[in-house]
Amino acid sequence: MKMIIFHIDVNSAFLSWEAVYRLFHKGGTVDLREIPSAVAGDAAMRHGIILAKSIPAKKYGIQTGESIPEAKKKCPQLVLVPPNYSLYERCSAAFMAILREYSDAVEQYSIDEAFMDMTGTCHLFGEPEQTACIIKDRISSELGFTVNVGVSENKLLAKMASDFKKPDRVHTLWREEIQKKMWPLPVSDLFFVGRATAKKLFSVGIRTIGELAQSDPSYLKNILKKQGEIIWGFANGIDLLPVLSQAPANKGYGNSTTISFDVTDAPTAKKVLLSLAETVAARLRADDVKIGVVAVGIKGSDLSYCSHQRVLSVPTNITAEIYVAACGLFDELWDKRPIRHLGIHTSRVFAGDYARQLCLFDGADYEKLERLDETVDEIRDRFGMDALMRASFIGQPIDHMGGGISREKREVDYSRQRIE
C-alpha cells in the first residue's frame, strides 16, 4: 500500500492566532494578516526581535529573528504586537485536536505544524488532495486561521510540499513530481540545509536541489561528512522516518533566560541560577526522570559565550542539588565580565527510580529534600506557580521560576493594547 503522509503548517502562526483573537474576541476590525505587522518581543526586556510576520510585512524584507529597529527601518509603518504564548498554546491544542479526528497517527512537530499518517484512514474521506482540502477548510471555518497542507508518501516530501506557495493551499509532491516541482528550487530550500551548508554547496557549484541530487554522494560526504549523504538522500526524496504519534523521550532538559540588566556580581547571578534550577528540576520530576550531568552556559553583554559541565556522582532531580552543582560550575567558569544570559542544561537522563548510594561523608537528608520538592510541586500545580516562592525573590527583579517562556510573553494585558 502506498504511504500517504500529510504535513500541516499554520500560515504565520503567531501572527495569525493574534489576528483571529483580536477580530473575534476583542472587537478588532483590522486584520493583522492583511497589513504589514509582526509579533515582537519587548525591547526593554532585551527580547526585542521579530517572532512572526505577516505576508505584507515579508514584502518589505522583514525577517524572523531580526531586531525591531532593523524591521522598523525597512517598514516604518510596521504594526507590532506583543507575544501571547498562553493564547498560542490554546490555538495549537485546538488545531491538533482537529487533526486527530482524521488519523490516530499525528506527530506534533512544533507548536504550529504536524505530520499525519493518512495511509489507513484517507479512504474514509476521499482522495488525498480532497481529504487535505477538507481538513484545511475545516480549520479555517472553525478556528479562523489558515494552513498549508503538503501531501506525499513520506515526511520529507510532505514538508517540502507544504512550503510551496502560501497561504491556504494544498500541494502534492509525489515521487514522480520531484524533478518538476522540487529539483529547480535553490538548494537552500531543502530541509536540513542551513546557511553554512548552503554556502559550502554554492562554493562548489551546487546551487539547485536537482544539482545536489545528481551529485556524487561520496564527493558530498568528503566536503560535508555525514550530512552530505543525508541531504543527497533528501534531494532524491529518500526519507524512511515514520510518523511518531508519541514523542521520543527527552535526552536532556534545560532552561535559559536573557536578563533585563547586565549582571555584574555573583550573588545576583546565582539567584538567576536558582530560578532556573527551580524550573528544570520541576520538569524532571513531572516526567519522573533524573539526570546525571549538569551544565551551565554564560553569555556576556558582548555576546561571547562559554559553558562548562559536570558529571554528578548520583543522578538527581532535586532542586537544591542541581542548584549547588550549577553554582560550582559558575564559580569555575565566570571571568567577571557582565552577564546578559544564563542557562542550566542537563543530560544523561535516567527514567524511574534510581537508588542513591549512601556516602559516609555526606550529611544531606536527600529524602527530606525530595519530600520538600514534591510538596512544593503539589502546591504550585494546584494554586499556580506563584503560590509558593522563596523569600529571597520577594521584591526582586528576577522571576523566581526563570527560563523557558518569559513571564511577559505568557499573557497580554489587552486593556493596555490599542486594538483597531
The residues that are catalytic are 113
- Characterize the bridge pairing of strands 37-40 and 79-81: parallel
Give the integer Cα–Cα distance in Å for 417 and 414.
Answer: 5
Surface-to-core class of residue 413, CB atoms within 10 Å of its CB (0-12 exposed, 13-18 middle, 19+ buried)? exposed
**H helix or E strand, kind and range, residue 365:** none
Integer-rounded Cα Rg, in Å, for the chain is 24
In sequence order, the 6+-apart residues with CB closer than 8 A to the CB of 36 are 54, 56, 57, 59, 60, 62, 75, 77, 78, 79
In sequence order, the 6+-apart residues with CB closer than 8 A to the CB of 355 are none
- The beta strand positions in 301-338, using DSSP E, are 305-316
Tell which residue, 206, 197, 200, 105, has the closest CA to residue 158: 105
Burial per residue of 5-43, b for 16 or more beta-carbon CB atoms within 10 angstroms, e otherwise: bbbbbbbbbbbbbbbbbbbeeeebeeebbeebbbbbbee
**H helix or E strand, kind and range, residue 37:** strand 37-40
Give the integer Cα–Cα distance in Å for 145 and 15.
Answer: 10
| 262, 339 Cβ separation under 8 angstroms | yes
Give the integer Cα–Cα distance in Å for 62 and 57.
Answer: 6
| 184, 164 Cβ separation under 8 angstroms | no
Question: From the CB of residue 280, how many other CB atoms can be counted at a distance below 10 Å?
Answer: 28
Give SS3 for 243: coil
Omega before 167 cis (within 30°)? yes
Give the integer Cα–Cα distance in Å for 175 and 238.
Answer: 9
**For cell 538527581, what's the residue?**
316
Tell which residue, 296, 335, 291, has the closest CA to residue 315: 291
Give the integer Cα–Cα distance in Å for 131 and 122.
Answer: 7
| 45, 37 Cβ separation under 8 angstroms | no
